[in-house]
Structure 1
Amino acid sequence: MTVNEFDVLLARKDVIADDVVRLTFHHPDGDELPRWEPGAHVDLMLGNLVRQYSLCGDPGDRSVLEVAVLRERDGRGGSAFVHDGLRTGDLVRIGGPRNHFPLVPAESYLFIAGGIGITPIVPMIAAADASRADWQLVYGGRARSSMAFHEELSQKYGDRVSVLPQDETGLLDLESLFDEAYEDTAVYCCGPEPLLLAAERAVPEWLSLHVERFAAKENSGERTEFEVELARSGMTLTVPAEQSILDTVEGAGVPVLSSCQGGICGTCETPVLDGVPDHRDSVLSEQEQAANDTMMICVSRACGERLVLDL
């Protein structure tokens, strides 16, 4: 258990789109819940599973935490547990909040959401609107009935919101969107991997692109053996080619917080004291990776023969 973990009460469970439920959590004793900023997510401890979900409520309302969960038909059991197993009145253990998708200050924003990727975007839009920044939301999905929050966003913000279901309008035209964006616009994109890859390919250099992934990027890089020195534990370990740093460290009896084991949640982020990491995560920005002062040890490896970690 960590200081970041606490119990919450599931106060409401509402169907808000096809295969999407919104969970509203309260503190069991009515206390205030932790502060968070747009882009943050929490870990839900679901039996023996841990899953990450973006917070989609109002950061200013500390009486509740809200997440929206899509039933993943080919998932690993987490979303099915949420949809079929959780009941109003249940106590749920939560970890976090943590934020690896923060909203940077900007005069202009372009928000691009695909499907359930709308969840972290909802509080970002509210923050951008409150700051009187210029912003636009382009929201795609399979069908209108599957797109959570589209009605309330359209009603509240009018023509700043473009709802473009694929069965009505086809795939999002990202190149046209980017061509029409103001210079130095901050672009926030969240959704399925094909959308994120398309955005990364199409974005011009004058726009700042920020993405959040719900699934790990494919890692096909070479895997070789190397050493890790654990500075605080006084141990030097060999990481085999077929094993992660995380598994090696835990196998040596050194406890490390971890969750997704796919480089997308940021739970296992570890300071690097020496050596150059081979970053294979989907959390750190290019600038953060280039700094080489932290790494996700569940997927990332070493560029050389040795790393020194603050473990």
Structure 2
Amino acid sequence: MGETARTTSPAPGSGTAADALRADCANCFGLCCVALTLFASADFAVDKEAGEPCSHLQEDFRCGIHRRLRTAGYPGCTVYDCFGAGQKVSQGVYAGQNWRSRPETADEMFRVFRVMRQLHEMLALLTEALGLPAAGPMREELRRAYDATERLTLEPADQLAGLDVPAHRETVAPLLRGASALVRATVPDRPGRRRPGRDLFGARLRGADLRGADLRSACLVAADLTGADLGLADVIGADFRDARLAGADLTDTLFLTQVQLNAARGDGATRIPPSLSRPARWDA
């Protein structure tokens, strides 16, 4: 099918690279509103099969209820982040040809989007790892992994649609764990530091010292992290839905994503990394 637009990749960590990993909905064909399966729940008001356009998706690919997604029963949409995959698929892989004008590409385009989103998330995590001074001993390995992942994003559409993403993730994950271990090893151990584990649903961690903690894939749903210090804590895959982060310090939390922030409940005193945006509803 369509050939990927081949361009020179920006250097990891550059402003251009960071911009490419941020969603640009104005240059996307509403792919997240069509390509994904949704289940009726607290996050989504209705069931929707992959490939079925959301009933609120307009002809111009904009959301008809964007300003009231939460009150309309779609808070999950306010949390989602494609890491820039939407515009890359829309404007790069398919060169501006959308699934409505070329319906024969639709199924493939949606598969490509689901793959690209995962690749872009890996690129975002590798970009962060490359910027960590303490992970210096692994820099060449991390850079090779970044370059290999970027090359995959430039494959033709038919190759991307059938890509074995889990297999590639298995080559990236150990590198991210290794970088995390090097960085967290720089945090001096001291009495009182919490080693909280993974099952932290509703946990009371108000004011906890979690510096350097391993919170990978931790369930932090509705946890009270008010005033907690999560400096250099690794939160890859952690579930922050409705976690209370008022006054918490996440300035240098490792591998924190915009998705996790959007899902949590912070306030004006919550400290976040400069690369991420404070969710508007935190100040409401």
Q: Whose Rg is larger?
A: 1
TM-score normalised per structure 1: 0.28
TM-score normalised per structure 2: 0.29
Q: Which structure: greater strand fraction? A: 1
Q: Which structure: greater helix fraction? A: 2
